[in-house]
């Protein structure tokens, strides 16, 4: 009857970042694009993928899918905003190599398929296939720790971002 008097369970925030693909994880400073490597958009990491299946790096919600399908904006439960940028200079490919599997407002978690990407199309267009994950609202970040680099499998934990 008086539900408002009941104690609310504390909200469990998942602040973990996950691998978006099987491949080789590198720090963002090694991405061959100065906008990312110099952290102009924020801190994060990248994976050079072995396959074109790209998964969610977080548990949260999709905020936007870029019209050119090369990037997806997401938000973690702790308020941090994440940009998944698929490939380098791939906006000019007008979405052709990207089959996006989520839409604005979609809930995502570890293991949610975000996109199927034609990696051969990207490389034949002379572009890099780096799957870049960037925290774009760094002003809200208390700490960001990348806990591993090197060979990685889909859904492996790669770091923690606290707000």
Only one residue has tokens 């994976």, namely: 47
Tell me what pLDDT residue 13 has: 73
State which residues of the chain have pLDDT below 70. Answer: 1-12
Q: Which stretches of 13-156 are assigned E, i.e. beta strand?
A: 16-18, 23-27, 43-49, 53-55, 60-65, 71-76, 81-88, 98-100, 107-108, 113-117, 128-135, 143-146, 150-152
113-139 pLDDT per residue, tens: 999 999 999 999 999 999 999 999 999
Query: What residues act catalytically?
Result: 85
Tell me what pLDDT residue 7 has: 54
Tell me what pLDDT residue 14 has: 85
Tell me what pLDDT residue 8 has: 54
Bridge partners of 16, per DSSP, are: 160
Domain locations in the chain?
13-162
Contact 111, 56 (CB under 8 A): yes
Q: What is the CATH number of domain 13-162?
A: 2.70.70.10
């Amino acid at each position: 009857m008086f539900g408002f008097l009941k104690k609310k369970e504390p909200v469990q925030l998942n602040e973990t970042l996950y691998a978006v693909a099987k491949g080789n994880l590198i720090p963002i400073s090694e991405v061959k694009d100065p906008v990312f490597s110099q952290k102009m958009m924020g801190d994060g990491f990248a994976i050079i993928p072995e396959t074109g299946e790209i998964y969610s790096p977080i548990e949260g919600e999709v905020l936007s899918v870029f019209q050119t399908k090369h990037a997806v904006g997401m938000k973690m439960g702790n308020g941090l905003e994440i940009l998944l940028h698929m490939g380098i200079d791939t906006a000019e490919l007008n979405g052709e190599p990207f089959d996006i599997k989520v839409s604005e407002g979609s809930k995502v978690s570890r293991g949610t398929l975000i996109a199927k990407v034609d990696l051969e199309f990207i490389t034949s267009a002379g572009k890099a296939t780096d799957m870049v994950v960037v925290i774009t609202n760094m002003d809200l970040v208390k700490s960001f720790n990348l806990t591993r680099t090197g060979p990685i499998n889909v859904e492996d934990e790669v770091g923690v971002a606290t707000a």
